[in-house]
Amino acid sequence: MPTGVYVRKNAVEDRLKAGMAADHAADFAQWLRDRRYTPRTVIEKMRLLASWTHWARAENYTLAAIREAYAASFALIAAGQRPRFRGDVNQDAVETAKLFIVYLEDRAVLACLPAKPVAPLVAEFAAWAREQRGLAETTLATYLGTITPFIDALGETPSAYDAVTIRAYMTERAKAVSIARMKGISVGIRAFLRFLIATGRCRPGLDHAMPNVAGWRLASIPRFLPDADITRIIGACEGERRLRDRAIILMLVRLGLRASEVARLSFGDIDWRQGSIRLFGKGRREELLPLTQEIGDALLAYIERSRPTLAVPSLFITEYAPLRPIDRITVKCLVKRALKRGGVESHYKGAHILRHSAATAMLRHGVSLTNVGTVLRHRSPEMTAHYAKVDIALLAAIAQPWPGRSPC
């Protein structure tokens, strides 16, 4: 992480001893090493911390006011102003200051800031959605992002909600967002209204006051990649450095897993004797998928030769410090990089394109719609039937001639 500005080693030590990090520099370096930062990165982080604390000392900030110092330096960079001392305040130094604050909180030297208060009604909905509806945290986070503005606009007294105000709110929101986004907002608010009805906070049937968002269900052609592109993506994950990526890509393209499902996998979800993978899908439904030889070999190679030693049950771990279990965004970025390395041109670069590709590949190879739906764990046969549109040869065979006259 070189920045192009270097300070002599003695100057780094002098600045650390004179600044607010004097009593914590050695422990901070060890804290970084414990989180698998490389030796070169630790040296660079300490240099950046020395530069930032030198600036903070010149601005008369103390350790007790480190958050204020961080905010001031962040504002300085955001405004594009020149630093007072050459090399003392830059983007990397400010990011290192933020990491140092995390260290101080972890060591209980600095009290953690209280979490942003959540409206009681929102907190109750979140608990109800987890317990009664089995919503995944990612889905719940999306819902809460739509519910909070709704409450801010209509107030925290659900008994006062009526069809007129709800429709007016939705109409106003529709002016500023896309159709796809509006559908997401509609789903989240409708779920919230059903919670209010179930807990007796508003009149029954108020969820039907939600206006429908214009759109035709399953009208589009499924997005997918041809077999040749899938082969190139898998090939782009060869080698010892990409054992983790290969295992994840294979689970996406062979079994059609969702990114969040891959991220949540733990060692306890892999049954090596029975050859199965346990998943907790939407609605916390527990389901089993086959652990194929190809995927099993890829997982073993990753676990035995590449997975960092980290005492957590999660199967997949980040490659770079700080080490931690991956999340669905990591899977998305991993797929995007694999597409680029494989030279695959696609407008859609997320992990879900591989789920669609898995479904269409199964259909093209003769797997029935019922079995495809079983692998993808669809609740509705209509969703699986959506993929039948990609079998152009079958559709041409059953297509009927247009009854009208030929166009001019």
Catalytic residues: 258, 282, 352, 355, 378, 387
> What backbone torsions phi and psi does residue 366 show, to the nearest 5 degrees?
95, 5
| Closest C-alpha among 340, 253, 261 to residue 298 | 253
- Alpha carbon distance 269, 280 (integer Å): 9
- What is the token pair recorded at 372? 């495809």
Distances from the Cα of 40 to the Cα of 10, 22, 36, 45, 378, angstroms: 17, 21, 11, 9, 48
Q: Residue holding tokens 């987890």? A: 130
Asked whether the beta carbons of 73 and 38 are under 8 A apart, the reply is no
CB atoms within 10 A of CB 142: 16
Asked whether the beta carbons of 244 and 319 are under 8 A apart, the reply is yes
Asked whether the beta carbons of 211 and 170 are under 8 A apart, the reply is yes
Point out which residues pair with 290 in neighbouring strands.
276
- Alpha carbon distance 263, 46 (integer Å): 32
- What is the token pair recorded at 179? 């159709």
